[in-house]
């Protein structure tokens, strides 16, 4: 059983560049008890792509989850409904 739920859905929108992307992740258990990080990404409104990573230890899955979350935040992805300011300031930390 996972110690706590790990779910994330973030978006990156830039109207002048016609960009509307989403990125979703979750950590779930497989039928065999392994931790599985499931990632989905693509254009908003499309099914997109999916990738699964299986781990023997939950902490490995959580570490990858947090690393990917940090990377996406640095690239401008934000929770749905939280637009990025139009000035070119550095991302929040």
pLDDT at 83: 53
Dist. CA 35–CA 28, nearest whole Å:
6
Domain range for 61 is 6-79
Whether the per-residue pLDDT at 51 is higher than 70: the answer is yes
Instruction: Establish if 15 belongs to a structural domain.
Output: yes
Cα-Cα-Cα-Cα torsion 80, 83, 73, 1, nearest 10 degrees, comes to -20
Residue 90, domain member (yes or no): no
What 8-state DSSP symbol labels residue 19?
E
Q: In which band, very low, low, confident or very high, does the pLDDT at 89 lie, cut at 50, 70 and 90?
A: very low
What domain count does the chain have? 1
Question: What's the CA gap between 72 and 80, in Å, rounded?
Answer: 13
Domain assignment present for 20: yes
pTM as predicted: 0.79
Is residue 92 domain-resident? no
77, 12 contact by CB (below 8 A)? yes
pLDDT digit string (tens) for 57-79?
999 999 999 999 999 999 999 99
User: pLDDT confidence of 43, banded at 50, 70, 90?
Assistant: very high
Residue 5: what pLDDT? 82
Q: Which CATH number do you get for residue 27?
A: 2.20.140.10
Question: Model confidence over 3-26: pLDDT tens digits?
Answer: 678 999 999 999 999 999 999 999
Q: List, in order, residues 6 or more apart from 64 with CB less than 8 Å away.
A: 37, 53, 55
Residue 1 pLDDT exceeds 90? no
């Amino acid at each position: 059983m996972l110690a706590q739920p790990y779910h994330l859905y973030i978006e990156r929108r830039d109207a002048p560049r016609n960009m509307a992307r989403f990125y979703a992740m979750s950590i779930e258990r497989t039928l065999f008890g392994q931790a599985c990080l499931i990632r989905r990404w693509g254009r908003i409104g499309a099914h997109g792509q999916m990738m699964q990573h299986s781990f023997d230890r939950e902490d490995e899955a959580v570490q990858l989850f947090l690393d990917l979350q940090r990377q996406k935040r640095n690239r401008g992805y934000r929770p749905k409904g939280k637009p990025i300011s139009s000035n070119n300031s550095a991302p929040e930390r």
